[in-house]
Structure 1
Amino acid sequence: AGACPGAYSHNFYGGGLAGLTAKLDYLDNLGVTAIYLNPVFFSPSNHGYDTTDFLQIDSSMGTQAEFEAFATAAHARGMHIILDGVFNHTSSDSIYFDRYGRYSQIGACESQSSPYRSWYYFQPVTAGTGPCVGDDGTPGGATYTSWFGYDSLPKLNSANPAVRALIWDSAESVAVHWLQWADGWRLDVGGDVDPGVTADPTNLYWEGFRAAVKTAKPDAYIVGEEWGNPSSWILGGEWDATMNYQLGTALLSFWRDETLTDNDHTTGSAAGPLSPLTPAQLNERLLNLQERYPAEAFAAMLNLLDSHDTNRALFLLDENADEPETQPGLYQNPTYDWSDAITRLKGTALLQMTLPGAPTIYYGDAVGLVGP
């Protein structure tokens, strides 16, 4: 909470790096051996996927000293730290783009002469109608490419040598710098940066990233975000593994009685709907996944049921999960009976914990946090 009652703030009790350090014994007792952190770098948002500066810890989470203390304490308990690398885009309010002119250095949006101009993709528009200076210096003469159409997330030109130097292709790069304390990287929307060796063998972004990371720390873990078939990235030259949404969909589907669709599980989507499976169908799905992936990657997969990008597993397993639109107050009832969904979640977790790969628990699931 902020200093004034009702004031907006990113800060919450126990939600920073110092709070996480204080809970390491609890996590250790659970048997946790690795902690994957959502973005910790400086950002104007609460989610952190719009980086302002890749080399600064966000002040809402703590300080550099607190991050280093957390890393030291985690390593003392035999735990590993995986950082979230958001390298497809930055914040429009970053030191590199500076759409709002907040920084002393000249950002890509502010001037066609900015050293960061070639880091992004600009398109000309009628003078005065765009958010950025045009290539000829015309005020408001340009717009830009952004991730998924969100203008707060201008897309980086990953082929630009200076961008690669910042992220991985230099001794002072982001990827190498943070491995002084971390043990690996999770790569946000990794397929949007480089579609994989079988899709485009000329795009060597993740090959270069892997070489830099493995040189700095040979046992570092590189896991990419990919909701569909990740085979193109896990053939040994790019990622070690992916977030195994395909497995999560199969396990959740097995414990559902009826098909459920939501924003993340729809017909035609990479993850697909949660449609009930018989034991034989589940077995076939699991064998298909095993046959699809190299053995080394299959054993290293980040096996998850839910994440910061999805509804919680307990909600997805509830029989009324498709009802909030027709019954908007359904889950606001403190006496709502979650017992059936909890039983199903226990069964799902049993499979998750005993299959090959690295079972991963989204924070709060262990104590039954719910909510769409």
Structure 2
Amino acid sequence: MYIKDNEGNIVRRDFYGGNLKGIIDKLGYLKKLGVSIIYLSPIFEASSNHKYDTGDYKKIDAMFGDEEIFKELLDKASKKGINIILDGVFSHTGADSIYFNKYNRYSELGAYQSEESRYNSWYKFNDYPDDYDCWWGVKSLPNVNELDPTYMDYIIKDDDSVLKRWTTMGVKGWRLDVADELPEKFIKEFKKELKGVADDTILIGEVWEDASNKISYNQRREYLLGEQLDSVMGYPFRSNIVSFLKSDIKSIDLLNRFMQIKENYPSEAFKSNLNLIGSHDVKRIKTELNEDKELVKLAVGIQMTFEGIPYIYYGDEAGVCGNTDPDNRRTYPWKKEDEDMIEYYRNLTTIRKKYKALIYGETSFIDTKNADVFAFIRKTEDEKMLIVVNRSEKENDIKLDLDENTIEEIDIESNLKKYIEDTFEDDRSFEVNIKAKSLKVFNLKNLIV
């Protein structure tokens, strides 16, 4: 939490939250939730509580622990089948850093202190030392020249570069903060070196729009053409889901929006898209949907059955509320969790892992001819799943024309087959009844010869 003055400068901070030991202690909880990857927001030394003002890229912030504790986390998480991804903030550093050292808190000679500093070429000074380029005008975040050779070496290329130091330790990927503000050459070099260290790693970018045709600083970006990002943060996914559940758009509009993204993205990128409904940059999903728990469950249900990678913002599964930053960074409500919501998440992650079509399957969309009901199919060669979502306050009957002659409903609460419905009609049509504000998952089969 932070307090600003009338000019928007941060004048006081309150620190609260967890640490790396706490994550280690809760690995069992995360495993039961179905988590296979933990993406950590910045953990490197920094003066703020959010840590996006890096002070030292090669040191764990003491608030969270130290390098030995981090290694312990990597080891124990790996034994549970959980990998760790780090947040890389490389478009700027902190003013209070070993590199800039505006407040003389580090023994290293910083760029602000002397033009003879070995870090001086990283920054652009308009009138040395107080007038310098900074991120969105925030003086505590001086921008860096990412293509400066010494910066590229320090972050990417040196034997003990930031990338190599933490990746060789066991980190399985990086999320690049504000990817739009990073030069393409920087991203390409980062990915090339990352894959050279370990080819089973992943590079994710913070991109808010359709990443296939994003124009940033008058340049069309090529994020998804193979040499840059493996995946992006799925903010369009969230926007689409929220718009539908708040009745701002109809089901056919949602279908068309998803189809546009699916057609624009390479198949590999669409399957690895981080489908988020919450993050530290937006309202909590429960708050966004006016604390309507039934609608929140619909959002989660779509997220867990849709093509891509479900991304859970800590605490959403426990019913945490919160407006925009910093209110959305509330601590996890231990012993005050919404146990029903946690169980709902667990049931959906179990179903997702049980039916491979929900992980690897292709997606086709169904025009239900009903503004309140959205439906889509996930399929592999061996499985075919139907998902139907009704946002309405009333139940709906939907007629669906399918290739199969049998549908089995999967009960989300019990993960059991609830009932089987057959059709002998030549047109293979089914009428599905779906209750108000509910989501159903069906297994489609041909059991009748």
TM over 0.5: yes
Partner of 1:206: 187
The AA in structure 1 aligned to 2:287 is: F
Query: Residue 48 of structure 1 is aligned with which of 38, 46, 51?
Result: 51
Partner of 2:177: 188
CA contact (8 A) 2:210 2:261 kept: no
Partner of 2:238: 248
Distance 1:121 1:105 in 2: 19
Partner of 1:297: 269
Q: CA deviation at 1:9?
A: 6.2
Partner of 1:225: 206
Partner of 2:160: 172
Distance 1:303 1:167 in 2: 28
Q: Which runs of 4+ in 1 moved over 4 A?
A: none
CA contact (8 A) 1:11 1:61 kept: no
Distance 1:350 1:105 in 2: 51
Partner of 2:318: 367
Distance 1:213 1:371 in 2: 35
2:196 is aligned with 1:215: yes
Distance 2:255 2:79 in 1: 39
Partner of 2:74: 71
CA contact (8 A) 2:126 2:132 kept: yes
Distance 1:277 1:292 in 2: 21
Q: CA deviation at 1:186?
A: 0.4
Partner of 1:10: 15
The AA in structure 1 aligned to 2:231 is: A
The AA in structure 1 aligned to 2:172 is: D
Q: CA deviation at 1:294?
A: 0.6
CA contact (8 A) 1:18 1:66 kept: yes
Q: Could you say what secondary structure the match of 2:157 adopts?
A: coil
Q: CA deviation at 1:11?
A: 5.1
Superposed CA offset, 1:138-190 (max 9, x none): xx5x4100011100000110110010011112221111111122100000001
2:27 is aligned with 1:24: yes
Q: TM-score, normalized by length of structure 2?
A: 0.66
Partner of 2:284: 312
Question: What is the number of equivalent residue pairs in this alignment?
Answer: 302
2:60 is aligned with 1:57: yes
Distance 1:311 1:58 in 2: 27
Distance 1:156 1:112 in 2: 15
Q: CA deviation at 1:8?
A: 7.5
CA contact (8 A) 2:202 2:230 kept: yes
Higher percent of residues as strand: 2
Partner of 2:251: 279
Query: Residue 299 of structure 2 is aligned with which of 311, 328, 348?
Result: 348
Query: Residue 40 of structure 2 is aligned with which of 32, 37, 41?
Result: 37
Change (3 A) 1:67 1:316: same
Q: Could you say what secondary structure the match of 1:113 adopts?
A: coil
| Bigger CA radius of gyration | 2
Unaligned runs of 5+ in 1: 1-6, 125-133, 135-139, 195-202, 258-275, 319-337
Q: Could you say what secondary structure the match of 2:85 adopts?
A: strand
Query: Residue 99 of structure 2 is aligned with which of 96, 101, 105?
Result: 96
The AA in structure 2 aligned to 1:344 is: L
2:145 is aligned with 1:157: yes
Q: CA deviation at 1:229?
A: 2.2
Superposed CA offset, 1:84-124 (max 9, x none): 00011000000000011222221001111111110011102
CA contact (8 A) 1:227 1:243 kept: yes
Superposed CA offset, 1:319-347 (max 9, x none): xxxxxxxxxxxxxxxxxxx4xx1100100
The AA in structure 1 aligned to 2:197 is: A
Q: Could you say what secondary structure the match of 1:168 adopts?
A: helix
Distance 2:144 2:223 in 1: 20
Distance 1:164 1:10 in 2: 32
| Percent of residue pairs identical | 38
What pairs up with 1:231-242 in 2 under 5 angstroms?
Answer: 231=212, 232-242=222-232
Distance 2:210 2:13 in 1: 40
Distance 1:69 1:105 in 2: 29
Q: Could you say what secondary structure the match of 1:52 adopts?
A: strand
Distance 2:191 2:316 in 1: 32
Unaligned runs of 5+ in 2: 1-11, 213-221, 324-449
Partner of 2:411: none
The AA in structure 2 aligned to 1:192 is: E
The AA in structure 1 aligned to 2:181 is: D
Partner of 2:85: 82
Distance 1:63 1:26 in 2: 23
CA contact (8 A) 2:111 2:119 kept: yes
Distance 1:8 1:206 in 2: 33
Distance 1:63 1:46 in 2: 16
Q: Could you say what secondary structure the match of 2:38 adopts?
A: strand
Q: TM-score, normalized by length of structure 1?
A: 0.79
Partner of 2:6: none
